A and B are shown apart, each in its own frame.
Chain A
Amino acid sequence: MRFTKDHEWVSLDGDVATIGITAYAADQLGDVVFVETPEAGKAVKAGDGLAVVESVKAASDVYAPISGEVVEGNAALGDAPETVNDQPEKAGWFAKIKIADKAEYEALMDRAAYEDFLGTL
């Protein structure tokens, strides 16, 4: 699993990346009440808005950490947005992307580097 400074995580299975937000991000958001996930077929570049996650208080954008084509949005979050709080780094994923360039993934932080980064916040 790799991480961004915007608190997204990416796990890679072959050329399909699963993307979500970290436990730290979910805790910062508080209770998630609404999630908007992308449609299959959407092309995204690293840094593009990928999904929207809303807590009681505010809406936040989730950015694509990596470029590619969306193969699936997590429709289950529509009825159960609280999954993002309960299992942020498992069932609370937002989208799966068929990636274009594995080097983008390799360039992201590993967990140890992300933990170090959290220590600076």
Chain B
Amino acid sequence: MSRSPSVSDETLKTTPLNAAHIAAGARMVPFAGYSMPVQYRDGVLKEHLWTRENAGLFDVSHMGQARLRGVSPLSAFEEVTPGDFIGLKPGKQRYSVLLNKTGGIIDDLMAARPISPDGGGDDGLFVVVNGACKDNDFKVIDSELAGQVRIDRLDDRALMALQGPKAAEVLAAHAPQAAKMVFMDSASFEAFGTDVIVSRSGYTGEDGYEISVPAAEAERVWNLLLADERVRPIGLGARDSLRLEAGLPLYGHDVDETVSPIEADLGFAVSKKRRDARDFPGASRIARELAEGVSRKRVGLTVLEGAPAREGAEIADEAGNVVGVVTSGGFSPSLGKPIAMGFVPPALAAAGTKLKVIVRGKPQAAEVTAMPFVPHRYIRKL
């Protein structure tokens, strides 16, 4: 049987939860420069389904956390993103993208405007970026916003995600404030006997929270949450299958520096105000794509027969002409069949369009499917 090439782990970094993962029987793999748990003893399928039905706890400490401070960090941040950050209310978080000069995506991220103790929102921005991109992201922000924004990297903090329909009741037992939050709220408070930064968000399509804690407290908080029988630790394998079912793109696979937010079907991240102002990097390309359309668009695909279509598999039309490529794909544990994401011309992007995916040289029937594949269950109002 073929095996993945083994990677030297000498240079891998570890998260503050490394010992806890190993003690729990995790299978550790290199990811974004870190040794990370791909699965625990339950395995990917069971962990995935547990998260959809109960509450799953993920270590995402490899991701980059930072505070952006300055005289007017919100307006400064608009120079590198297409979102309306000046209009972001204290206590709210927004999904956004860092753009290069040609409107390509340097990274996707979450940015929250903390509520300061006086109830205002003058405490800059709290951003969370992808682990593999964080050093470059902070370099880009630093050079583009030099003199306007100071980046305080929070490398001494861990980040965990508690996701699933039972996440809210689990966290409420430790942090009653969390129950009052809705989707994309962000707040800092005392919980678990330490200071936490909590947002009601995640990357699984389920209700849930991301919880930033001081690194020194991470293992204690992790174990407190796992002491609840509704919570199990979940590896990056299930995190990937959950986000795929939720229709959420994975940076470096579904989106990269060549892809614009319009092509990536992330148009919601380009706010109306900013579209009219055209005052962000790559605005001319993005305005043109909005007016005239794109040549390729990210779509969901259900594979109707045969093997899972994975990243790199070609997509063909019914006549057999290659029309695009799969950027991520695999088996959907919730649906019991293979699903994928990829890019096709807009004329072939309508839900229901019959296509083929080429797996190991064999064309297999596939169909464009509206995303998310599994409905989101965010709590938008209490």
Q: Which residues of A contact B (CB under 8 A)?
A: 6-8, 21, 25, 28-31, 33-34, 36, 52-63
Contacts of B4 in A (CB 8 A): 58
With both beta carbons as reference points, the residue of chain B lying nearest to A50 in the complex is identified as B1
The answer to the question of B237 belonging to the interface, with a C-beta cut-off of 8 Å to chain A, is yes
Contacts of A28 in B (CB 8 A): 3
The answer to the question of B11 belonging to the interface, with a C-beta cut-off of 8 Å to chain A, is no
A37 to chain B, nearest CB (A): 12
Q: Which residues of B contact A (CB under 8 A)?
A: 1-4, 38-39, 43-46, 48, 237, 240-241, 306-308, 310, 330-331, 333, 338, 360
By the criterion CB–CB under 8 Å, are A52 and B338 in contact? no
**How many Å lie between the Cα of A28 and that of B330 in the bound state?**
18
Which 10 A-B residue pairs are closest in the complex by CB-CB distance?
A: A33-B331, A31-B45, A56-B44, A61-B2, A60-B2, A7-B1, A25-B1, A34-B307, A6-B1, A30-B43
Query: Given A30-B39, A31-B43, is A59 in contact with B1 using a C-beta cutoff of 8 Å?
Result: no
**How many Å lie between the Cα of A62 and that of B3 in the bound state?**
10
Residue among A36, A53, A56 facing the most chain B CB atoms (10 A cut-off): A56
By the criterion CB–CB under 8 Å, are A60 and B307 in contact? no
By the criterion CB–CB under 8 Å, are A34 and B237 in contact? no
Main secondary structure on A side of the interface with B: strand
By the criterion CB–CB under 8 Å, are B1 and A52 in contact? no
By the criterion CB–CB under 8 Å, are B331 and A60 in contact? no
Q: 5 A-B contacts, Cβ less than 8 Å apart?
A: A30-B237, A54-B308, A59-B308, A60-B1, A61-B2
By the criterion CB–CB under 8 Å, are A53 and B1 in contact? yes
By the criterion CB–CB under 8 Å, are B360 and A52 in contact? yes
Query: Given A30-B43, A33-B308, A52-B307, is A57 in contact with B237 using a C-beta cutoff of 8 Å?
Result: yes
By the criterion CB–CB under 8 Å, are B310 and A59 in contact? yes
By the criterion CB–CB under 8 Å, are A30 and B44 in contact? yes
**How many Å lie between the Cα of A21 and that of B3 in the bound state?**
13
Contacts of A25 in B (CB 8 A): 1
**How many Å lie between the Cα of A57 and that of B4 in the bound state?**
12
By the criterion CB–CB under 8 Å, are B307 and A36 in contact? yes
**How many Å lie between the Cα of A97 and that of B127 in the bound state?**
58
Contacts of B330 in A (CB 8 A): 56-57
Residue among B310, B330, B338 facing the most chain A CB atoms (10 A cut-off): B330
